[in-house]
Amino acid sequence: MPSAFISRKNVFGLRSMGQSKTKPSFFNEMIDGGTVRAPYRGLEGWSRDMPLDLRTLKQSEAEKLFRRIGITFAVYGEGGDPDRLIPFDMFPRVFSGAEWRKLDMGVKQRARALNAFLADVYGRGEMIRSGRIPARLVYQNEAFERAVVGIRPPRGVFSHIVGVDLVRTGPDEFFVLEDNCRTPSGVSYMLENREIMMRMFPQLFRENRIAPVEGYPAALRRTLDSVAPRKCEGAPCSVILTPGHFNSAYYEHSFLADMMGIELVEAADLFVEGDFCWMRTTEGPRRVDVIYRRIDDAYLDPLCFRPDSMLGVPGLMNVYRSGGVALASAPGAGVADDKAIYTFVPEMIRFYLGEEPILNNVPTWQCAKSDDCAYVLDNLSELVVKEVHGSGGYGMLVGPRSTKDQIALFADKIRENPGNYIAQPTLALSTCPTFVEEGIAPRHVDLRPYCLVGESIELVPGGLTRVALTEGSLVVNSSQGGGVKDTWVLAE
């Protein structure tokens, strides 16, 4: 999951901390000018009147529920408990219907453009040939898969689940931090957060008109079934392919399979014979039409990618090429969510859709460009610098939070391999009320909605809100101490 930070400097006119030594001002999503904003009025009395002992009891109850149903995550490379309980904050984040309409349109627009880009990249390459994006960023990208060139998947969809990470800096100011076109995780938290809130505070849902999110599994099933290949006979057979129970997102894999009523399989459960992929069952082989794969490209098929992979299905790519099975998302989809490619998404929207972007990117410097690199090196103390292929908050520098030695070390890394880094201004992210030991305090948040792309494009009204729980911290990653909240969209 991405991280989010603030800055002391106003760059590109974005809302930021400012250069004074006074405490910076951030947009509080609940309180504006001393007045409770309309979306949060239904929570004002509830939060004010809740006794501390009741809040403590409810928080303990939520943690027990998370532990009982197994909602944990793993942090690779660390000792201790490999399955951690993700922190859950009971104070929901709320969007009005009007606010959500803008996000809904903007995320769907972005998903359409990203899929059009992928179809073009593995097809005629018109945007590259037009000079609107450098060929080296695409064809020399480690996420570009030559084995996919010339393949047109069912309905032309390459990325079926698009997670768009959003940050907010003002009442009407939303920015896309990054795109996730491969296997965006966290949707199980979105669903379980809502389930637990409804169980603990049913009166809130009676008193407020909150749009439901529980339709996501059915929508995902529709999306998967809608991209079944032409060779599919009868009702499509869709499965989720998992690396196994040691994977950090295994709970989500099993949760979604159960909610959709489809099989959760590992590589040993599948085999290729003839032009099709088959699943071993107690009643004999069953043909598989759609695979929602939660395995990285490199491990998907040892005959096509990494030959030492024990997680993939030998021969699967041959079946995919021949139209015998659909893969969601398609191999090679990661080239569209690369952090260097991210800077060109607004141009993709103009080029493929003939529209202006509804949601803005965070302005980004590409260190591969000499002028950009020089600026970044001169201003490291004010910027967030990220590895192009990094994730989870790792491989990055947060200038305002770093020491001089850390900045000097990172500067050497950039000079050694400038193309491996991008930099962004550190935005003054919005805050949302959060329950803390001393009561209620603002904490910084981001949002990941999940856009489903198949025969149609669907976006459930909500998403995963991640929150930096520690005062002064702006890291929302669960792997680095961040937590989660329920996300409400008020029905109109």
- What CA–CA distance (Å, rounded) separates 334 from 22? 42
Specify the 3-state DSSP secondary structure of 407: helix
pTM recorded for the entire structure? 0.90
**Phi (first) and psi of residue 138, to 5 degrees:** -95, -60
Q: What tens digit of pLDDT does each residue of 165-176 get?
A: 999 999 999 999
HEC states along 71-89? CEECCCCCCCCCCEECCEE
Residue 125 CB: number of other CB atoms within 10 A? 15
Query: How far is CA 60 from each of CA 54, 66, 196, 235, rounded to the nearest angstrom?
Result: 10, 10, 12, 44
Whether residue 291 is predicted with pLDDT greater than 90 in this model: the reply is yes
> Which pLDDT score is estimated for 260?
98
- Which DSSP state fits 237? -
Check whether 450 has a pLDDT greater than 70: yes
Whether 133 contacts 140, CB under 8 Å: no
Buried b (16+ CB within 10 A) or exposed e, 315-341: bbbbbbeebbbbbbbbbbbbbbbbbbb
Instruction: Among 60-69, 354-363, 474-483, name the one with the lowest average pLDDT.
Output: 474-483
pLDDT in tens, 188-226: 999 999 999 999 999 999 999 999 999 999 999 999 999
For 319-339, the pLDDT digits (tens) are: 999 999 999 999 999 999 988
Q: Is pLDDT of 13 > 60?
A: no
Task: Map residue 278 onto helix, strand or coil.
Answer: strand
Q: What is the mean pLDDT of residues 430-442?
A: 90
Nearest to residue 272, comparing CAs of 330, 327, 325? Answer: 325
11: pLDDT strictly greater than 60: no
Supply the pLDDT for residue 402: 86
Close Cβ partners of 315 (under 8 Å, ≥ 6 residues apart): 272, 301, 303
Q: Judging by beta carbons within 10 Å of its beta carbon (0-12, 13-18, 19+), is residue 277 exposed, middle or buried?
A: buried
pLDDT at position 427 over 60: yes
- 378 phi and psi angles, rounded to 5 deg: -80, -15
Q: Please give the average per-residue pLDDT across 12-26, as a whole number.
A: 51
Q: What is the mean pLDDT of the chain?
A: 89
Q: List C-alpha distances in Å: 217 to 190, 214, 458.
A: 11, 7, 12
Q: What band does 396 get if pLDDT is binned at 50, 70 and 90? A: confident
CA 6 to chain centroid, in Å, comes to: 20
pLDDT at 2: 38
Q: Mean of the pLDDT values across residues 345-355?
A: 98
pLDDT of residue 3: 38
Buried b / exposed e over 96-124, threshold 16 CB at 10 Å, is eeebbeebbebbbbbbbbbbbbbbbbbee
Q: What's the pLDDT at 470?
A: 78
Tokens of 148: 């996919």
